Amino acid sequence: MVDVLALVEARLRTALGEPDARAAVTFLGTERIEVLRFADGDIVRYATLGMSAQPMTDPAAALADPVKGPRAELVLSVRAGLADTDQVLRPLAVLASTPQVEGVIVAPGASLDIGEPLWPGAPFSSVLVAEPGGLVENLELDDPMDPVRFLPLLPMTTNEAAWKRVRGAQELEERWLANGTDLRDPLRGSVRLD
């Protein structure tokens, strides 16, 4: 059996360079989740490592397939030095454990909410899962395993998350784009939603 996490870490290193820090979190009844931090000039990126060890399972499925099914890791990019964003390590591990704990499939367009600020003073407690393939390319695995997708996370304010629930992910992303919203700003306010 292939060591999926070793391949995932190699892909992250190829795309983002050497991590300058890492932390591990284990929740009762779940696999260990690591969060790697990569510095890239004035941007710091946090990537989970461990979510893709097992495929995500449709909650309606009678049995979990140990081989087939979607696999993913999460990537968050923020501007460095503006907030204590290193405190996001535990919240990211919580989000990455969601498929194991809640039996959900994390996919683009989904909202994930942790119920508290992502880091001290953050105006965000939830994230929008964006489309993969930009920053870190999908990692193809041997058949019959699905590829590992590296899903970017876009922090959402409470108002944005509520608006997204009503109008959908695409409309929120279009609103951000139309307003030139800096989604990497760890202190940004909510985009105009009227």
* Best CA proximity match to 105, nearest among 127, 129, 138: 129
Question: Between β-strands 111-113 and 71-79, what pairing exists: parallel, antiparallel or unpaired?
Answer: unpaired
Rounded Cα distance, 123 and 181, in Å = 14
pLDDT of amino acid 26: 83
Q: What is the pLDDT of residues 143-172, one digit of tens each?
A: 899 999 999 999 999 999 999 999 999 999
- pTM for the whole structure: 0.93
How confident is the model at residue 27, as a pLDDT? 77
Give mean pLDDT in consecutive 10-residue pieces for the chain, a chain of 194 residues.
Answer: 88 96 83 93 96 85 76 96 91 91 90 94 95 91 93 96 94 95 95 84
Position 68 scores a pLDDT of 86
